[in-house]
Amino acid sequence: MVENVARLTPTPRMTPFIEVSGLEKRYDTRNGPINAIEKVSFSVSKGEFISIVGPSGCGKSTLMKMIGKLLQPTSGSIRFHGLPAGADSPDLGMVFQDAVLLPWRTVFQNVCLPIEVMGLERAKYERRARELIELVGLKGFENKYPSELSGGMQQRTSIARALVSDPSLLLMDEPFGALDALTRETMTQELQRIWMESKKTVLFITHSIPESVLLSDRVVVMSARPSKVQEIIDIDLPRPRQLTDTTSAAFGKYVSHIRGLLSATTEL
C-alpha cells in the first residue's frame, strides 16, 4: 500500500443513491457458461463522480448496462434510494464511445430527441436544450449537422442530449475513447466543469488511469474476468483539477497504485 492512497473504509452515510450487492452476470454459450461479473458490490452517493477501470473484456460495460437496466443480472441486486431497481429507479442519461447522432438532424434537433421520445413539455425542455448547448460550448453551432462537427463537438452534443431530460444519473461508457489525445484532454476538463455545474451523479468507464484520477471522487478497480472489485480508492485531491495536476507527486501515487493493481492480473 502506497502512502496517501487509502483503501475504502465505509463510513456512516445516508441511504446510498445506488447500491450494488453481490451482482453476477453469466452468459450461457455452446461451450458452457461464461462468468463475466462475479459478486460485485459497491455503493454510490448522490452527486458522486465514480470511475470504473479494469482490463479489457473484464465486464465494465456489462456492469454499467445492468445498472442502466439494459441487461438483467444473473443474481445479486441493484437498489436505488434503498429500493429494488424498477421500484424507484432514477431517470438516467447514457453516453457511449460513439456519439451516435442522427446525421439528418442538426445539433439542436439531436439534443432535443429525448424530448420528443419521452413526450416532455416542448417549450420548457427546448429552453433547457439551448442552455445545455451553451454549457457544453456549442453555442453558435445549433444548426450544424454531425458531418460538420469534429469528433469532440459530436461528443459534446451527445453529452447535452444525455442531460436534456434532467436525469439524476449519467452513465458514460468510454465516451472519449475514440478521440485524439489533445481533444480527449480538453473533453476531460469540460466534463469536470459540466459535472460540477450540473451536480449529477456520474458513473464513468475509462481505460485511462490518469483520466480516472483526474475526474473522480472514487475509482472502482476491477479484476480480470470473472470480474470482481479489487479495491475502491478515494481520490483526495482538491477541485477543480487541472491538467497540470497530473504531474504532481500526489497524483502520481494514485496512478501508480491503480496501475499496480491492474498489472497484478493482466495488462490494460
Give the model confidence (pLDDT) of 130-177 as tens digits: 999 998 889 999 999 999 999 889 999 999 999 898 888 999 999 888
Task: Find, among 77, 67, 7, 2, the residue nearest to 219 by Cα.
Answer: 7
* All cell numbers assigned to 247: 504531474
3-state DSSP call for residue 52?
A: strand
Say if residue 21's pLDDT is above 90: yes
For 48, the 3-state DSSP assignment is coil
User: pTM to 2 decimals?
Assistant: 0.85
Question: How far is 233 from 53, CA to CA, in rounded Å?
Answer: 11
pLDDT level of residue 63 (50, 70, 90 thresholds) = very high
Q: Which CATH number fits domain 1-90+168-214+228-268: 3.50.50.60, 3.30.2310.20, 3.40.50.300, 3.40.600.10?
A: 3.40.50.300
Binned at pLDDT 50, 70 and 90, residue 9 comes out as very low
Cell numbers for 33, please give them: 457458461
User: Which residue intervals of the chain bear CATH 3.40.50.300?
Assistant: 1-90+168-214+228-268
d(CA 43, CA 20): 6
* Predicted pLDDT at 108: 96
Q: At a CB cut-off of 8 Å and minimum separation 6, what does 3 contact?
A: 253
pLDDT confidence of 3, banded at 50, 70, 90?
A: very low
What are the b/e assignments for 161-196, b being 16+ CB within 10 Å?
A: bbbbbebbbbbbbbbbeebeeebbbbbbbbbbebbe
Residue 92's nearest CA partner among 44, 52, 147 is: 44
